[in-house]
Amino acid sequence: MTALTYTVLTDPAPLEASAAGRQSKSIGTVHLIVTNTARRTDWSAIEVRVPVGDGAGDLSPNITEMKGTYTENQWGGQAKNRKVSIERQQGSNIFKVTPQADGTASFVPGDHMVLTLENFTVASTPGPAVLTVREKTEDDDGEHTRYTSVALVKTAPKEIPAPRDFRPDKSMVDTGENLTLSWEGSADLTYEIVFPGGRKTVSGGTWSPPAPTRATTYILVATDPQTQRRHFLTTTVQVRHPVLETLTATAGVDTPWVQGTENATKGRITFTGTGAQITGNSGGQGTIQADKADLNGVNTEWVQGRSADDGWITFPKEGLHVHRKDGSKLTHLVVGYATLDIVKTRIVRGLKDDDGWISFRREGLNIHRERGMDRGTLFAADTDLTR
């Protein structure tokens, strides 16, 4: 039985074994509390043997990164500036603790000190690890070398926590505006973001995708490389002025106006209470082109052929005027057949310029020959005249 009592505490408690294949390792610290629970004892050395390796009974696979420390003024119930030296024996897995003042140091009943092995990588296999302690002490019975063991446990590594808080820096963007997606998650997971038309392997907790042109849902897929377990997080970004390849609406579209795209003429259709207005890119009245129009009525100032030099028709209160291409002068109306209630005209002539013609006067009508005002001939099968 050792003259001093040894108790072990760990941080974290319990220690978590490192997970094989993970980028981040489990880091731990061991505190060894040395206490005198009996009579006064002088000690000259305390050696702590650490099991090194990656197995169930090992504490750490890398002894060289383990640092032994001692905190001043922790010796005994009263504050005393007592220092010790903690050094790893060269080429071994033993930490040796000795008094710095002289060859031995006195431990009275109730005295204690804390030795620390800190910031080391914990072995990857769960299980109990045992520290072996060898003490050299001196009391009224003489010098003694005694041994004891203190155990600690390494639990199985915890599952990598799922990522969280997948979010855009802006929930609404304009077309072409920069966007950044962020999330929080372990570096031991592999990350991929899936979006319409593509996928991207990402890391570092942020990614700036190409500017979306329409409302887009992004899916963050986080995969544990060891277990292949996957986590899914989604977020959606709205676009203030979306660009759509096509649009099918089965129940109608409610909108105050429709406009062409940036690369088009940007003509606009505005919906009013009585119908629709067509405007050009300058804001003035625009043009509508169609192969055929089926209308109940047309209200317009004039109608013209497709070419700029075609004839055109205006609609005064009296009826309509047919104009020539070179201005507002009246010109010819050509029809195959006309049924009219009343015809008001100065003359009626045949289709050829040298045909006879009829003029109308207050007393009746005159029939003229092909040229001039000479009287012409009336031909009829039968004539019934009152005079």
Q: Report the CATH number that the domain containing residue 34 is assigned in CATH.
A: 2.60.40.740
**One domain, residues 9 and 124:** yes
**In-domain check, residue 136:** yes
Percent of the chain with pLDDT over 90: 42
**pLDDT of 385 over the 80 cut:** no
Q: In the numeric block, which tokens belong to residue 213?
A: 């042109």
Tell me whether strands 302-304 and 276-279 are parallel, antiparallel or unpaired: unpaired
Residue 263 is part of which domain span?
Answer: 257-288
Half-sphere exposure of 327 (CA within 13 A, CB side): 1
303: in domain: yes
Mean pLDDT over each residue of the chain, to the nearest integer:
87
Q: Is the domain of 151 the same as that of 12? A: yes
Q: Taking Cα atoms as reference points, which of 150, 199, 183, 174 lies closest to residue 51?
A: 150
pLDDT confidence of residue 371: 67
In a domain, residue 282? The reply is: yes
Among candidate residues 122, 155, 188, the one where a domain is terminated: 155
pLDDT, position 360: 86
Give exposure, 46-73, as e/b (b: 16+ Cβ within 10 Å).
bbbbbbbbbeeebbbbebeebebebeee
Clarify whether residues 14 and 47 are in a common domain.
yes
9 and 140 co-located in one domain: yes
Of how many residues is the chain composed? Answer: 387
Q: How many domains does the chain have?
A: 5
Summarize pLDDT for 288-324 with one digit per residue, the tens: 888 888 888 888 888 888 887 888 888 888 778 888 8
Q: What are phi and psi of 65, to 5 degrees?
A: -85, -5
Do residue 30 and residue 77 come from a single domain?
A: yes
Are residues 213 and 170 both part of a single domain? yes
